[in-house]
Amino acid sequence: MARTPSVADDEIFNLRHARSAPDLFPMLEALYGARSDYAAFRDKLVKALKKGWEERPADLKRLDLARDLEPDWFQRPGMAGYVFYIDRFAGTLRGILDKLDYLDDLGVTYVHLMPCLKPRPGDSDGGYSVMDYRQINPAFGTMEDFETVATALRARGISLCVDLVLNHTAKEHAWAKKAAKGDPKYQDYYLMFDNPDLPQQYERTLVEVFPDNAPGNFTHYPDIGKWVWTTFNEHQWDLNWANPAVFLEIVEVMLFLANRGVDVLRLDAVAFMWKRMGTRCQSEPEVHMLLQALRACSRIASAAVLHLEEAIVAPAEMLPYLGRGKHDGKEGNLAYHNSLMVQFWSSLATRDTRLMSHVLATHFPDRLTNATYATYIRCHDDIGWAVTDEDAAAVGLSGHGHRGFLSDFYEGSFPGTFATGELFQVNEATGDKRISGSFASLAGLERAADPAGVEMAVQRILMGHALIAAWGGIPLIYMGDELALTNDYSYRDDPHLAHDSRWVHRPRMDWGLAETRHSGDTPASRVFWGTKAILARRKAVPALHGGVPVRVAAAGNPGVFAFQRVAPTGVLLALFNFTEHWQEVPEGWARALGVGEMRDLLSDQRVETHHGQIVLPPYARVWLV
């Protein structure tokens, strides 16, 4: 129900509008200013923002104010995320309410509900083929259920993240259905062509996202006489962001979801939003204009809401999504640190951190403006080996050869590997082979044949969690990784899933195993308690604030990865042994980098040195002050 705005409400809206207008309207003028309908579009947008603000519940307006006063709230070390599919974690939205104590027990303060908006029936690309942005997947519940869960999470200090797909809708979306019936207004919401000439020209420079299951980037529909741009799948129609009506529609959706209690909008597939002939149609400059403008809209009408921009690309292409140049501090608040994830697995396989150190030191700034990373070791998706030929050559490797080695190692076919995974989307033309697999299986737990092998797998998992907790930003734990769940091969028996090996690392939550987490000496209990301890220690360490500079340090030992967090309260030096053997680094080197007390904040124990060396056990993780 609409609320009658107070004078104070009007004043707050006007102040926020004035604050963000310089970030919003120059972007819109650059994108749409030459159009004859620009003035009308601008008026409609301001009215939509005002309406969204007027309809915002009072408790969320209070949250807006609180987060305006503490704009670094999401960078604080108490932030720790958990990511899950609703049905695989709790069955339904209401089922989540019974699992909140479990999330509290682990130390979670941020929850990402994997795609929960209403998808098309049948194959929906895991829920990313959305046919209604304003309804919940009926298999999970209703929008009323969603609001109940959002309120319960907020009462426990847990922020809620949901996916908003920006590049495309399902072909069953109401807009697409109208377009298919010939409505010119809605045909202009999509990229539709009367003949294949332009699609064929575009195809010359485009890449295929899913070459096995959805080759090409266009689909011909003889019944409507159109070729439609379908980057990902035939049932996902790309939106035409050159049409300001699309921008306005999405802003209204954003505000609708924000007013249902969403704290973080995970903007999916953002790199593909703008098309330009002769390019890959990825990460074009207009994409960043659009994303800055969308962020400004949120700051005006729902200031508590963050934007997480999903762009799994190379570092130089990823960093602009967190704001660079004229967009610095004005675009996304969060983006996935894909490179940290890739380099973790690379160093784990080679027992050599030189490539990791080179990539993270060379391509990433030591801090970001009004933004931070979402750090992770595993997620719902496959792992693509984003290692460039240039970076590989810098440390004496062949890029092609190293990428092939990593695929073989983590598939489980390389001699001596500890990993068990599955190939995903093999590209015979380029040799690109991506990998699916759970954290525990890729880390060696599934293949472990004896207690020593199990021990090494457990230590690899805990080292990974300690790494993402220490790097900064918001560490994200993918459901089941805190219990060391291994690959789930049951997907092969489901005809709707069997074509997609990513379901091997999307298991159903083992609540029976979770009940045993407080007892026994099992891998599940050890990993749970280890992960819980890491997150608890992280919360107590101010140097792990996302705004504190992080600087890679050369340890002089290729088996050890090291970095500093240079905080006003003093330096924290993080050390990680990426091998199954004991390693050493010089005490004098550590002290020269600012370490004084030789205390490990992770274990809260003093670190004893031997003959001037800091000695690290296999897969050790140490946070020195």
**Residue 76's closest CA among 548, 543, 549, 545?**
545
For residues 318 and 49, the answer to whether their CB atoms sit within 8 Å is: no
* Three-state DSSP state, 411: helix
Tokens of 551: 């600087």
For residues 226 and 192, the answer to whether their CB atoms sit within 8 Å is: yes
DSSP 369-408: SS-EEEEES--SS-B-----HHHHHHTT--HHHHHHHHHH
Per the annotation, the verdict on 432 as an active-site residue is no
Tokens of 330: 């004005």
Cα 566 from chain centre: 25
DSSP 529-557: HHHHHHHHHHHT-GGG-TTS-EEEE--S-
**Alpha-carbon distance 504 to 487, whole Å?**
5
Tokens of 134: 């304003």
Cα 212 from chain centre: 24
**Residue 107's closest CA among 480, 477, 363?**
477
Q: How far is CA 565 from CA 336, 345, 551, 571, 625, in A?
A: 20, 22, 7, 6, 10
Per the annotation, the verdict on 268 as an active-site residue is yes
**Residue 379's closest CA among 499, 273, 464, 261?**
464
Phi, then psi, of 599 in degrees rounded to 5: -115, 135
Radius of gyration of the chain (CA): 24
Exactly one of 23, 172, 310, 411 is catalytic; which is it?
Answer: 310
DSSP state of 312: -
| Residue type at 380 in one-letter notation | H
**Alpha-carbon distance 209 to 216, whole Å?**
8
**Alpha-carbon distance 534 to 100, whole Å?**
20
Largest CA distance in the chain: 79
For residues 383 and 423, the answer to whether their CB atoms sit within 8 Å is: no
Exactly one of 268, 382, 408, 422 is catalytic; which is it?
Answer: 268
List strand residue ranges (DSSP E) for 61-213, in order. Answer: 81-84, 110-113, 117-119, 130-136, 159-165, 168-170, 192-193
Question: What residues are annotated to the active site?
Answer: 268, 310
